[in-house]
Amino acid sequence: MPKPSGEWLEDDIAHYKTVGLTDVVSLLRSDEIDELNLLDEEFFLRQS
């Protein structure tokens, strides 16, 4: 699965949920998360 877009992060994660994705594992380091603009990824994943 491709990484979510930092620009469209909320929409990408909403799509993952609609297709039944329930678990996400990230192997990115914190500097990579920052560089890819994915700082809010955990927040959006935890929303119902």
- As given in the structure block, the two tokens for residue 14 are 């909403």
pLDDT surpasses 90 at 1: no
pLDDT surpasses 80 at 2: no
- Identify whether 1 is part of a domain: no
CA–CA separation, 29 and 21 (whole Å) = 22
- Identify whether 31 is part of a domain: yes
**Residue 40 zone, left/alpha/beta (φ > 0; ψ -120 to 50; rest):** alpha
Mean pLDDT rounded to a whole number for the chain: 89
- Identify whether 3 is part of a domain: no
How many structural domains does the chain have? Answer: 1
Residues spanned by the domain of 33: 9-46
pLDDT band at 35 (very low <50, low <70, confident <90, very high): very high
